Structure 1
Amino acid sequence: MRRGVRLGVDVGSVRVGVARSDRDGLLATPVETVQRTRDDDGTLRVAELARELEAMEVVVGLPRSLDGRERAAAGLARAYARRLADLLAPVGVRMVDERFSTTTAQRAMTASGRRAKDQRAVVDQVAAVVLLQAALDDERAGGAPRGRLIAAARTPEESS
């Protein structure tokens, strides 16, 4: 297994949840909820977190329906992942199936006694933890990272 911090990113239309792994890639923990606005999609903040934490890879959730088809939100997540790939090159950005990540996060918080009203502020972080932990577990079990690597359209130097 590759060593180094990975970030998990759960992209929503209003908020983006961010989680991180430990350097051994064993455990995912919440980092931050990044607010999105009409003028700021939050990618610059997520890229800043990746640099601060010295992430070797960013894992972005890809929304899918139960039958495996991409949901409408998949386009939003793909565009977000491409923008991150451009901002972070040569750091890899990988998209992974995130089916059930938000549902699992909500159930876990409800089970721990957190009221639904109080979940909004952190549910995206917890969903990012769920998707990153699944990716870490899959990699550990199968020996290879899951998901699809997103190629950067250009390097940060070319963007300047």
Structure 2
Amino acid sequence: MKAGESEVADLLAVLAELEPLEVVVGLPTTLAGKDGPAAEKVRERARRLADATPIPLRMVDERLSTVEASRRLREGGRRAKEQRSVIDAAAAAAILEHALSIERSRGEPPGALLLPHGAA
């Protein structure tokens, strides 16, 4: 889904249709684990969504998810040129798999819970 004026409304429509228990948002931190400009933008966009829905959002580290997705696609026989149209979806799947793996191994939800402003 593209960023833009209708981004939150578009996401809310998807959430209403799918009725998820939680939303996992990939946080593109630097390799050193710090927030850069991309992570700041994602935090801002996630904040707008969190403020518009009662569904909990979790910010999960997505370092190297695109690299992992590209590797998997390559192993599946897709050349780099063929990956362009599916790399974001594959990276999203890798982020979710990583989050679920963390939850299974630690017995607790992954990442940081992002609550709407004013929620306790």
Equivalent position amino acid for 1:36 in 2:
A
**Cα RMSD (Å):** 1.7
- TM-score with structure 1 setting the length: 0.67
Question: How far is the alpha carbon of 1:154 from its aligned partner?
Answer: 6.0
* 2-structure distance, mates of 1:43, 1:115: 33
1:96 equivalent to 2:60? Answer yes
Equivalent position amino acid for 1:87 in 2:
A
In structure 2, relative to structure 1, the CA distance for the partners of 1:121 and 1:154 (3 Å cut) is: farther
Question: How far is the alpha carbon of 1:101 from its aligned partner?
Answer: 0.7
Q: 1:3 corresponds to which residue?
A: none
* 2-structure distance, mates of 1:134, 1:154: 30
More helix by share: 2
Q: 1:115 corresponds to which residue?
A: 79
Question: Bigger CA drift: 101-110 or 111-120?
Answer: 111-120
Structure 1 consecutive aligned stretches of length 4 or more whose deviation exceeds 6 Å: none
Aligned residues: 119
Equivalent position amino acid for 1:46 in 2:
L
* 2-structure distance, mates of 1:106, 1:94: 24
Query: Mapping of 1:64-83 within 5 angstroms?
Result: 64-83=29-48
- TM-score with structure 2 setting the length: 0.88
* 2-structure distance, mates of 1:47, 1:36: 13
Partner-residue secondary structure (3-state), 1:128: helix
Q: 1:61 corresponds to which residue?
A: 26
Q: 1:14 corresponds to which residue?
A: none
Query: Mapping of 1:1-160 within 5 angstroms?
Result: 34-37=1-4, 39-40=5-6, 42-89=7-54, 91-153=55-117
* Percent of aligned pairs sharing the same letter: 43
Partner-residue secondary structure (3-state), 2:110: coil
- Give structure 2 stretches of 5+ with no counterpart: none
